[in-house]
Every structure is written in structure tokens, then in C-alpha cells.
């Protein structure tokens, strides 16, 4: 069964750091790009970061560039998002996402999300 489970969120003061993890099961993680997305009340869903299947290529939204770092360990079937210099604007539920496709369909999977709250 395809499953993604996010963890590592919590309450942190501005300027602090958190490391989010996304654990995958039910598919071969090493074949797929993985994204982190976030959703905050009153804001549009934002694609925060993405990493290619091999880890050789990454993407960051302008809002987090220079502060967040995405990485992956395919052997552990886990993707990470290191978040530094956190701002209140980073407060959101963070989800990891994968699109799995064959010749006919593309299916999108995401986890339950993990809450990140940045507040003094």
C-alpha cells in the first residue's frame, strides 16, 4: 500500500530550525521525484521544494530559498526538509507528495501532514 508519513513538525520560535521527515512505503522511492508542499489558512497551497529521484536536482520556492534544504535517503525510503531561519510566515501544515504514473494514469499521494508553527 502506497503511503507517505510526515513527521518532525512542532512549535518553534522565529529564527529556529526544524527537520521534517517523509517516510515512504509501498513503492520504490528511488524512482520518483518528491515534493514538499505547505498549506496555511487563508493562503494558497505552495510548493516549497522538490527533489529528483536521484537527488541530483532540487527546486525551492523563492519564499524559502536559502533557508530550506531538501534531501533524500533512498535506502531509508525517506525524504527530509531541513528548515532554518524560520519565520512566522512559514507556519503551515507541511505535506510530502509523490506522483506515480504508468502508461495510462498518474496518481498523486500525500501524507497526513505535519504542523509547523513559528511563533514567539
Above 90 in pLDDT, residue 7?
yes
User: pLDDT band for position 101 (50/70/90)?
Assistant: confident
Query: pLDDT of 55-93, one tens digit each?
Result: 999 999 999 999 999 999 999 999 999 999 999 999 999
Cα 9 to Cα 91: distance, rounded to the nearest angstrom = 10
Q: Tens of pLDDT along 12-33?
A: 999 999 999 999 998 888 889 9
41-69: buried (b, 16+ CB within 10 Å) or exposed (e) per residue? eeeeeeebbbbeeeeeeeebeeebeeebb
Q: Is the pLDDT of residue 114 over 90?
A: yes
With beta carbons less than 8 A apart as the criterion, state whether 97 and 109 touch: yes
**pLDDT score recorded for residue 102:** 85
* CA 2 – CA 16 distance, rounded (Å): 33
Please list, in sequence order, all residues whose beta carbon lies within 8 angstroms of the beta carbon of residue 104, skipping any fewer than 6 positions away.
none
* DSSP structural state of residue 28: -
Amino acid at each position: 500500500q502506497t503511503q507517505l508519513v510526515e513527521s518532525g513538525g512542532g512549535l518553534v520560535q522565529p529564527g529556529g530550525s526544524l527537520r521534517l521527515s517523509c517516510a515512504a512505503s509501498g513503492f520504490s522511492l528511488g524512482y520518483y521525484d518528491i515534493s514538499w508542499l505547505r498549506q496555511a489558512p487563508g493562503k494558497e497551497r505552495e510548493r516549497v521544494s522538490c527533489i529528483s529521484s536521484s537527488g541530483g536536482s532540487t527546486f525551492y520556492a523563492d519564499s524559502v530559498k536559502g533557508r530550506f534544504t531538501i534531501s533524500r535517503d533512498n535506502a531509508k525510503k525517506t525524504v527530509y526538509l531541513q528548515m532554518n531561519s524560520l519565520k512566522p510566515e512559514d507556519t503551515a501544515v507541511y505535506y510530502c507528495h509523490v506522483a506515480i504514473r504508468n502508461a495510462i494514469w498518474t496518481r498523486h499521494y500525500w501524507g497526513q501532514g505535519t504542523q509547523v508553527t513559528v511563533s514567539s
